[in-house]
Chain A
Amino acid sequence: MTRPSKQIISLNVNGDDYELAVRPNRTLLEVLREDLMLTGTKEGCEDGSCGTCTVLLDGAPVRSCMLLAVDVAGRHVVTIEGLASDNELHPVQKAFVEYGAIQCGYCSPGMILTAKALLDTNPNPTEEEIKLAISGNLCRCTGYNKIVSAIKIAGENIAGVSSHE
């Protein structure tokens, strides 16, 4: 078995610059989990159908299992480990914790990042807009009800904070 040779890529992950040697057949998910040990990003299906591996690529939610690492060279990635700052949970994380939106927690990183991206572009989404935004993220535990409520509350909290600023 011959293997393609590695390529050197640079990647900004959670604000830090990395120079990485990766084979061209490796996914962003594999590089995040195995090379950078950022295991908060989960794998659930390998075919883009479950959304657990969602990360933010230049601010937009993407499925890291469907992207080759070499194709995102030079770009900015945010994983769940990069969301809280100074030990303070992001409002979406906070709302997920406080309003029962987490059970087993396996889908939570992808779900939270998808919600964060939604609220970045649409701080006051309707329930239908929330459901549509997270419709590619499967959750087997919660039935989605408390996740949708938590995202709505997080949006209100973010709007509340910014209106006070």
Chain B
Amino acid sequence: MNNNDLKYVGKPVPRKDGPLKATGGAQYTVDISLPGMLVGKVLRSPYPHARILNIDTSQAKKLPGVKAVVTSADSLKVKHGFIDTPRYPADQYPIAVDMVRHAGEEIAGVAAIDEDTANEALSLIHVEYERLPAVFDPEEAMKLDAPEIHPNHPKVSDPYKNIGGKIETAFGDIEKAFTGSYLIREDKFYCQIRTHGYMEPQATVASWDHSSKLNVWTSSMGVFLKRARLARTLGLPFGSVRILKTYVGGAFGGKIDLYGHEYIASLLSMKCRLPVKIVYTREEVFKAARHGQPLIVEIKTGVKRDGTILGQQIRTINDSGAYRGSGVVAIFLAWGFAMAPYRIPSMQYEGYSVYTNNLVRAPQRGHGAPKMRFAAESQFDVIAEELGMDPIDFRLKNARNPGDMLPNGDSVKNFGLKECIAKVAEKTDFKAKYEAALKERHSGSTIKRGIGIGTTAYFSGSLVYPNSSTVIVRFNDDASVSVMTGALDIGQGCETVISQIVAEELGVPLNEIHVHAADTETTPVDIGSWISGLTYVTGNAAKKAASHAMKKLLNVAAQELGSEVQELIALDKTIFVGHSPDRKISYGQAIAASIAKNKGDCIIGEGHFRTMKDEVSPPSLSTAKGRWTENYSNYAQVAEVEVDTETGMVRILKATTAHDCGFPVNPVLVEGQIDGQVSMGQGHILSEELRVEDGCVINPSFLEYKMPCALDMVETDYIDVITETYDKEHHYNTKEVGEGYVSGTVASVANAIYNAIGIRVKKTPVHPQDIIDALEKHEHGGKGDLTR
């Protein structure tokens, strides 16, 4: 089927929940209010590493208005972890047991009739600590004499006791590659800790009802993962825990895993049998919630004289914080982001995820890609310059072709990277601007312009959990449609995308498609809004469910019209016999006929979809062996910047993105994802940094942590590179669009800064003072790299 014949898929339709959100009617977790609801608050450790000698809650319990106080003594002491495998067993209690390993760790919870009483109760809990030596730098923590953070925990890399995760993988012959290289570069890059910056703080309402069921509303990225983690840590059957849908005020990776407050709200509610609501203050989000992954990347690359890459050796070090969090995933993914986009015949990779006494890390949009691509793409430009090549030619020479096989067995069957690079270079007049900037570097002007490129390939639904979805499509009597899906719309617009697909398959208008989503009790299992697979995995499940329902409807119509199914044509909710248009039946009549004559069958379609259906298990987190994903998105991004050499200020004038997301199911949502990621990338490279001293966050507000505001807005432009089609007969292939692009911005801006002023950026963020210092060093004959 030609995509031009599509009526709903591929169209920039406005999001379905827009009017509700624009009028204040969308109910977020922070808006939930239940009769008798109490205010819950969490007592947190002031110390980064300490033994808890005693917790005295007696005074707090006596305070009038306090309905419940909980500590680990009230818990089952079951550990949880983002990863829980034999090699990497769960390592964190949802409420501290005997030890705290980071400042802000949850020690106790209170539920009281109002906020003042709850806060007063917290002040009446007396905790005796024995402070322990702490370590905050991952490279320090890797030393043999560093304080041990998890003494009783199985070691993955004896005798280095704080290494919580290690991955080693190799292919080709790296020694031979380097021996045969004309040029070898070795560089080290650093990326900071950034917060996700979701506007709705962490929030949970838990209500243990009279039928001994725990009902939970929580600001999250997927309800089924939350149910699994809560049920296990609370010792409840899955069927006794219900997570209900709420609107979610942003997440960006920061609301996936189980958080202590979700467990504590549940425990409090189970104890006092009243609903309990916990909402973080913004300061609490900064000081205690999980943030993104800082990463150190050491990268060594060897090339031939003509620019062909022969080999690459990479070592990454991730500071995972006090618990493993998603650190071991970040170092696995960073490998993938290194090996996927370009042909690298020999590679050796090792990654370390190291325990420190810092806050725990969560996944964050891109999950390793911005850092890995920043390092690799920066070094590409260094190499290209040393070889006398321009950055575009270097990339085109080495980028993968469609159909290449990756070392892990994935085929990049529909890889649009080269096309993205060529098109973005052409549209931005890259080569001319690049050369002009080089000439301008030595002119008298204090304002310098530069242009740079960054690229990536990103997975689109990977095999974890496993990544699958079931969707149910049900016709109502009036031929409107109800869709049951476990997917949770966190702002990306998945309910709209699912509706478009169902509308396309059924020929029912969008406003007659009603999505009932994200309720563990009433919707089928779905992985949720993470791992970048929803449009692909849930979308295909919705497509199958709709086509199943449509088949049933056509069968009934064929019975009623006395024709063959193949002869039927559906149009405007009416089914016609193709060659005699007066023989017809409306959808509503067909549904009624089905109920009347097919034993009450009201026409329900069911669809399942799993990514990587032939793979039994996910890839190994220790060896990276095994397939990763079946659809790689690609993009090439060009940034144009202006650097004021007097003030050190960098302005991003424009970001142009050529993207291969397969095909855009909803182009306006795709553009929205790209714009948002350009803005996040801008924050990453230019302003955002969580400042931490002795494990404590010292800039815990938006006044001190600078996220881009409207005055910083970057002009954006997009180029579609379409490599897939929507086919009515089969499942479709489409690719992620919500995560990967953020890395292109970081890398392209770093390269554009170099093009403008000849300073190589080796750490993020780049503060104006860094630019001034580097320029000064440069003038005095120093190397002029901008590094830590």
Contact = CB atoms under 8 A, between A and B. Distances in A.
A136 B201 CA distance: 18
B404 to A, nearest CB: 32
A41 B24 CA distance: 7
Among B22, B493, B680, residue most surrounded by chain A Cβ atoms (within 10 Å): B22
A105 B678 contact: no
A98 B200 CA distance: 23
B18 A132 contact: no
B14 A100 contact: yes
B24 A40 contact: yes
B713 A143 contact: yes
Given A39-B27, A81-B24, A145-B675, A140 B716 contact: no
Interface string B657-696: 0000000000011011001111110000000000000000
B36 interface: no
A29 B709 CA distance: 23
A38 interface: yes
Contacts of B23: 40, 80-81, 83-84, 89, 93
Interface string A27-61: 00000010001111111111101101000000000
Given A98-B14, A103-B491, A143 B678 contact: yes
B197 interface: yes
B26 A105 contact: yes
A32 B120 CA distance: 24
B15 A102 contact: yes
B710 A147 contact: yes
A100 to B, nearest CB: 4
B19 A97 contact: yes
Interface in A90-106: 93-94, 96-100, 102-106
Which of B120, B668, B672, B703 has the most chain A CB atoms closer than 10 A to its own CB?
Answer: B672
Interface stretch (B245-253, B468-476, B759-767): B245-253
Interface residues of B, number: 60
- The B interface is mostly helix, strand or loop, or mixed, namely loop
Contacts of B12: 100
B62 interface: no
Contacts of A40: 23-25
A96 B22 contact: yes
B436 interface: no
Contact of B282 (A37, A44, A142, A143): A44
25 contacts: A3-B116, A42-B30, A43-B30, A43-B201, A80-B22, A93-B19, A97-B19, A99-B668, A100-B15, A102-B15, A104-B199, A105-B17, A105-B22, A106-B249, A109-B24, A138-B197, A138-B709, A140-B198, A140-B252, A142-B675, A143-B675, A143-B714, A145-B675, A146-B675, A148-B710
Leading 6 A-B pairs by shortest Cβ distance: A40-B24, A104-B491, A106-B249, A105-B21, A143-B679, A97-B18
Interface of B: 12, 14-15, 17-19, 21-28, 30-31, 33, 116-117, 120, 196-201, 247-250, 252, 281-283, 490-493, 668-669, 671-672, 675-680, 701-703, 707-711, 713-716
